[in-house]
Amino acid sequence: MWPSQCNRGAPPHLGHGELRKQEILFARIQLELFKKLLPHQCLGSIWSKRNKPGSEHLAPTVRATVAQFNGVAKCVITTCLGNPSMTARDRAMVVEHWIKVAKACQTLRNYSSLHAILSALQSVSIHCLEKTWEKVSRTQGVVPFLGTFLTKLLMLDTAVEVYLEGNEINHQKRNKEYQVMTDIMLLQVAAENYTLEPKDPFQAWFQAMEPLSKAESYTLSCHLEP
């Protein structure tokens, strides 16, 4: 049975006129989350424990950023697959739209939303839509991506020992961690000068969307283009 189509399908007023509104909304949301981020919650010693029992509320500012990233990715997938009446050409137009939004995010230096959109377009559910991709125009072609910092800090936590011989603290490791967190804080300072106005219609649509689950996405992808 096809999942509920409420708040699924192409975003409102899909076209050039709304492109700026959508890119600004994504940038504004990511900007606010990034400014509220507590850098120490990115430490590998903290973030690596996020999936352990009883750690559901660990690193809330990082979780909020990750949740927004996943929300954008699910939004892209859902708009491509959520409406059964769409033809392959219709889906191709939606894909082209998100490519334009991704390029706009790059122009705004909103690398987080850019990476989320690209991740969605490269997901199994979307990537395997051969008929859709055949119809995508070949002419289509700072909010940092938090995953870059998390990867660096996780590598430092797992690859570099906290203590040296003689139980001496590894100050080199601490200095490297401090440098990464300093980079985050410097970018947060720069983000204070990044002023964006909200666009209510698209924001309301984005927040009200009922995203497809991973299982629903794969099932619909196989059903649409067996």
The tens digit of pLDDT for each residue in 105-129 reads 888 889 999 989 988 988 889 988 9
Q: What is the mean pLDDT of residues 25-37?
A: 92
- Structural domain for 88, as ranges: 16-199
- Banded model confidence at residue 1, pLDDT cuts 50, 70, 90: very low
Q: What is the mean pLDDT of residues 217-222?
A: 93
Render pLDDT for 164-178 as a digit per residue (tens, 0 to 9): 667 777 778 888 888
Flag whether 2 is in a domain: no
pLDDT of residue 72: 94
The CATH number assigned to the domain holding 105 equals: 1.10.840.10
Flag whether 189 is in a domain: yes
Flag whether 11 is in a domain: no
Mean pLDDT of all residues belonging to the chain: 83
List, in order, residues 6 or more apart from 185 with CB less than 8 Å away.
39
Flag whether 4 is in a domain: no
Whether 102 has a pLDDT exceeding 80, the answer reads yes
Phi/psi at 143 (5° precision): -110, 110
Flag whether 177 is in a domain: yes
> Is the separation of the CB atoms in 177 and 156 below 8 Å?
yes
CA dihedral (113, 118, 120, 122) in degrees, to 10, reads -170
Flag whether 49 is in a domain: yes
More confident residue, 137 or 35: 35
Buried-exposed string 9-21: b where 16+ CB fall within 10 A, e elsewhere: bbbeebeeebbeb
Helix intervals (H) in the chain: 16-36, 44-47, 60-81, 88-107, 111-121, 124-127, 130-134, 146-159, 171-191, 200-208, 214-224
Q: What is the pTM of this model?
A: 0.69
Flag whether 89 is in a domain: yes
Flag whether 187 is in a domain: yes
- Banded model confidence at residue 14, pLDDT cuts 50, 70, 90: low
Count of domains for the chain = 1
Q: How far is CA 208 from CA 7, 98, 123, in A?
A: 7, 19, 23
> Is the separation of the CB atoms in 74 and 117 below 8 Å?
no
- Banded model confidence at residue 220, pLDDT cuts 50, 70, 90: very high
- Banded model confidence at residue 139, pLDDT cuts 50, 70, 90: low
